[in-house]
Each structure stands twice: as structure tokens, then as C-alpha cells.
Copies of this chain bind each other. A is one copy, B any other.
């Protein structure tokens, strides 16, 4: 399935239909409201939920590049905006939709940044990053994973976002088809589309722990296909590709003559399984990482990539032109990221995330959420609400309006069963998670 031709959510009705819709909805629900017309365990959703349109409507849309029709906004932003309005009016809102740790940046990174800033010398760095930071990242691969990755293969980037654009910018020609798991992080398919590549949804489900499999990749590959992007741990599902499955993907893609990009942005946030890297398995893979999640530096916008040596020069050229360099204060802050005291703190945080997950998962199950797959990483649970209702977007809307809990609708992660799922981020402390569960329990009970 190509995203450009399938999976578009229902659009807002226009013109006559927009005027007529409320009356038609009322008629429809009056006709359906008798006993037994709705499965007894399903909850009653709001009828007025403003379902999102995929396309924006500027004054002169024909003057927009064609790609913009295929690049979706983050639908959760509308919910967040509504959440802020509710908060401003005095409502208590618990946001379980935020894709970043709630912890502050660790002290050692803050201290390193402030020590650097006191000198005032905040000038450009080389496009590939501060040499000492590239060395420090190489050292981390050695000490943590026992890998010898030369610093010359490491490119420091303005967040993992920049890493993805650099990798795809040097690889994608217009019309090239790339496979991406659906559900998956939506920006990845939009990077492909930005470059006029064709992102193709590789539908994944609980049968493969919401991860790509070698068999599905081989079956979906065609003559126009040039690459595969996978993420481990995955956003939104939190599932992990273990080393044998990842190794099989590496061999499959290499055998097909394609490129493999592995998003390891949540590396280190693993629960009950060891962190690993595709770099140990495939010298030809492009690996993307970040200081945002495990290292707690989201707002700094700093990441890195590891490329096969033959591609580093092209990536450097593109980085010079697209970014000049990654933010200098962030690079100096990150020099403190691999120190023993920092890593000790990060491991404490990891234990806290694990405890939150271990609370939230069974609590959601007891409320009727389905939790397929094995969410052993990141800080997300991808919850199936089909036992509760027939539309996860309206469910997310109602959760916010009626009990002040903000979750992310599946719509933000692709087209595959997206009306069945919501993503809950346990990037809030256990007290807030408990309160959110209580509120959701009351809402569900009240809505039946």
C-alpha cells in the first residue's frame, strides 16, 4: 500500500455537507439508539468530535508543492492545543501524549553547557560535529557495545531529524520506493516524500511484535524499492527487534541490493532486554541515534548518525549545505553525556520508566484496553481500544474533554488499523499515571 493512495482519513465535509452533517448525524444516532444497536461493552463517544482533515487549506493551494498534500500534520497537536485551552480555564489535564521524557536535562549536561556559555564563544563547529564529541560517541560504542566504530564514521546532527534527512538526502532519487512499518513514526515517511521518494507502508501487527520481518520485506519489495527504514525500540509501539530478527532484516535487505536505515533513537530505554545496535550486525546499515530520549536532551536538538565510510563525504557536503552544523551549546553539553555519573543517573531514570510501564500496562488491561505486542522499549504503550469503542480518534477527543487525559490517536502513526489504537506515553510520573487510570476508569464506566 502506498500512503499517497490509501489510508487517508475521512476529511472534514465541505459546503452543503458541512451544513447538513449535524442534522444527519442526529438522525443517524436517533435511528441507532435502541437497545442492542451498539455492542454492550462499547462506550458512547461524543458525536461532535472534530475529525481532522489531512490536508491544510491555504488560500491558494495550487501554489503549494504537490508533496504538501501527502505530508500530514501531527494530529495530536490539535488535542494539545485544546488541552492548553482547557488548562487555561482551570481544568486539570494529564498529558500522556508527549514524546519526550518528563525528566529535566541531567545536571552534568547543564553544567557543561553553562561552563561553555560563560566563555561566550558560541561559533559554528565543523559540519560533522565537534571532533571530541565524535570521539566520545565512538568511545560509547566501544565501552557499552564492545564495538570499534571509528569517529570518522560518526556525524553529529541537529537532532535525529537532521540525521534522517541527511541519510535519505544522499540516497533517495525521485520515484524511489522505500518500505516503512505502519504503524511507525510518521516523520520518517514524510522525509521520504519530501525528497519525492515514494513511502510504502509495510503493515505490521502483533504477529511480528509490530516490527518488520524479513519475509514481509521480501514480499513487499519490488523493482522500484530501494530501501527499508526500521526502528528499534519503536515509536509508537515500544517493541524491539531482537538481534536475530534484526540480523535477518539486514541480510534480506542486503540480498535485495537495498539500503537499510535503522532508527535507534530510543536505544538505551530497554526494559528486560539488553540494548543493542545494528552496527554490530551490518557494516552497510545507516544507523540513526539521538541525545533526546535516553540522554534526556530533547529541546537541545542533537543526534548523530553512523554511516558506511564511503558515504561520509557525501553526508558532510549535504550537512554543510543544509545545516552548517548542529547547535554548538548542545554539542558541548553532550560531551558530559557519557560520563559515569551521567550514565548512573540515566540508568536510574530507566528503572523509573520500567516501573511506570509495569504499573500502566496491567492497569490499562483491566480497563479493557488491548495491549498486543511486547513493549520492551521507549516509553510508549500502543493500546487497542476496539473493545471500548469504534474510533480511537473520537476516543482520544472524549478522553480529553471528559476526563482531562490526553493521549495520541493512532491516526498519527499511519493508516494501518489506526482507528483501533491510541498511544500512551509513560513520560509522566507514577502519581499522574495512577490519576489518569482512575479518571479513565470513571469515564469508561460512565460512558457505557
Contact = CB atoms under 8 A, between A and B. Distances in A.
Given A58-B311, A329-B329, A77 B320 contact: yes
Nearest to A74: B320
A71 B322 CA distance: 11
Given A71-B321, A321-B71, A56 B159 contact: no
Contact of A122 (B190, B195, B297, B323): B297
Interface residues of A, number: 75
B107 A120 contact: yes
A317 B73 contact: yes
B325 A301 contact: yes
Query: Quick one: copies of this chain in the complex?
Result: 2
Interface in A160-181: 161, 165, 169-174
A58 B314 contact: yes
Contact of A158 (B58, B107, B158, B173): B158
Interface stretch (A62-70, A244-252, A363-371): A62-70
B56 A317 contact: yes
Contacts of A67: 169, 173
A104 interface: yes
A194 interface: yes
Interface of A: 56-60, 63-68, 71-74, 77, 100, 104-105, 107, 110, 113-114, 117-125, 127, 158-159, 161, 165, 169-174, 186-187, 190-191, 194-196, 259, 297-301, 309-311, 313-314, 316-318, 320-330
Given A56-B317, A300-B328, 7 more contacts: A64-B171, A66-B173, A104-B120, A110-B117, A110-B118, A327-B327, A327-B330
- List the 5 closest pairs (A to B, CB-CB), nearest first: A104-B120, A299-B328, A59-B310, A122-B299, A58-B310
